[in-house]
Amino acid sequence: MSAAELEAVEIQLEQPSGGLWYEAWYRLRRNPGAIVGAVLVSVFVICAIGAPVIAPHDPAKDTFLVNGILQPQPPSRDHWLGLDIQGRDVFSRIVYGARYSLLIGVVSVTIGLSIGLLLGSFAGFVGRWPDSIVMRCMDIMLAIPGLLFAIAIVAMLGPGLWQVMIAVGVVNIPIFARLLRGSVLAQRENDYVLAARSVGVARRKILFSHILPNSMSPVIVAGTLAMATAIIDVAGLGFLGLGPQDPSTPEWGTMLTDSNEYLAAAPYLAIIPCLAIVVSVLGFNLIGDGLREALDPKLRGRA
């Protein structure tokens, strides 16, 4: 290697690499799984936002009830995914259902994430007895199996869309709180925190502008995967009859419960919402896995 080449390498090395986020983005774009996940989630989000434009019919009205006879119809050219027992267009219902799933997922993860974030970072940063009190409360919440806990909350608030969101969100609180506390504890001992403290940065500022941004990457991964779990949980609660009580609401879990009774006569009525749930959950799982690998290169090609 000549002196000029050495020089070039050196210059290249000295240039800023763009940092963790830039590199993570670079790795994410080269991960085929994450790309597939992004496509699936995009389709899901587009359906949710553009439902009134995409759906050919009203999802709640029994527009196609022939002579008032309750009779499901298999997929045809006019109705791509057939008609359900009440004469409603299944394709339109699935498209509108994406709205509910996305809304519920986002709201419940936001509830769990924000409260969990607050409690976890507080506990991790303050330490001592406030830490013990918060974390013991979280242990109590974790001692009840998750779905049972969610059912319990819905039972108290009454069935319905908002109640389900709150239930799934509350169940997520201790999970995020624990995750963030661990992450903050690990960051707190780092040299850059000591440096900030020694030059007299205020405690609150150290937490918000130094420790929290550096503790975020596991939270982002967990948040994406929690979206997947939230969709599953909400559909599960809907399936148990705890979701929206108006049967015309096109929620996927509720649609599945309704079709369960006609499983032998019209299996496609069950299979279609099943596929919708699986595809959207798969999308979030793929993105979550991709993010995990991108943010933690050590894991690449492993878990």
Partner 1 sequence: MVRFIVRRLLLLIPILFGVSVLLFFWVRALPGSPAESLLGERATPALVEAYKERYGLDQPLWKQYVEYMQTIFRDRDLGVSVATHRQVTDEIGQRFPATVELAIAAMIFAVGFGIPLGFIAAKRYGGPVDQGSLFFSLIGISVPIFVLAILLKYIFAVRLAWLPSVGRIDLLNFDAEHPTNFYVLDAIITRDPETLWDVIKHLILPAIALGSIPLAIIARITRASVLDVQNEDYVRTARAKGMAPRIVDRRHVLRNALLPVTTVIGLQMGFLLSGAILTETVFAYPGMGSWLRDAIFNRDYPVLQGGILFLALVFVLVNLVVDVLYAVINPRIRYS
The residues binding partner 1 (CB under 8 A) are 33, 136-137, 139-140, 143-148, 151-152, 155-156, 158, 228, 232, 235-236, 239-240, 256, 260, 263-264, 267, 270-271, 274, 277-278, 281-282, 285-286, 289, 302-303
Q: Which is nearer to partner 1, 211 or 221 (CB)?
A: 221
In whole angstroms, how close is the CB of 69 to partner 1 at the nearest point? 24
Which tokens go with 134? 């918060």
* Torsion angle, alpha carbons of 251, 252, 254, 257, to 10: 170
Assess contact for 108 and 168: CB atoms under 8 A. yes
* CA proximity to 102, closest of 282, 291, 286, 280: 280
Sign of the CA dihedral 169, 175, 179, 180?
positive
Q: Which is nearer to partner 1, 72 or 207 (CB)?
A: 72
Q: Which is nearer to partner 1, 24 or 281 (CB)?
A: 281
User: 10 Å Cβ neighbour count for 112?
Assistant: 24
In whole angstroms, how close is the CB of 141 to partner 1 at the nearest point? 8
Q: Which is nearer to partner 1, 125 or 239 (CB)?
A: 239
Q: How many residues does the chain have?
A: 303
Give the residue carrying structure tokens 């403290």.
197
Q: Which is nearer to partner 1, 98 or 235 (CB)?
A: 235
In whole angstroms, how close is the CB of 139 to partner 1 at the nearest point? 5
In whole angstroms, how close is the CB of 104 to partner 1 at the nearest point? 14
* CA proximity to 98, closest of 56, 52, 57: 52
* CA proximity to 160, closest of 92, 241, 93, 99: 241
* CA proximity to 292, closest of 33, 16, 18: 33
* CA proximity to 86, closest of 58, 62, 63: 62
In whole angstroms, how close is the CB of 284 to partner 1 at the nearest point? 8
Q: Which is nearer to partner 1, 165 or 272 (CB)?
A: 272
Spatial distance between the Cα atoms of 93 and 63, rounded to a whole number of angstroms: 12
Q: Give the up-direction half-sphere exposure of residue 244: CA atoms within 13 A in the CB hemisphere.
A: 19
In whole angstroms, how close is the CB of 146 to partner 1 at the nearest point? 5
Q: Which is nearer to partner 1, 18 or 267 (CB)?
A: 267
Contacts of 4 (CB under 8 A, 6+ apart): none
Q: Which is nearer to partner 1, 33 or 182 (CB)?
A: 33
In whole angstroms, how close is the CB of 49 to partner 1 at the nearest point? 22
In whole angstroms, how close is the CB of 285 to partner 1 at the nearest point? 5
Give the residue carrying structure tokens 């969990």.
116
Radius of gyration of the chain (CA): 24
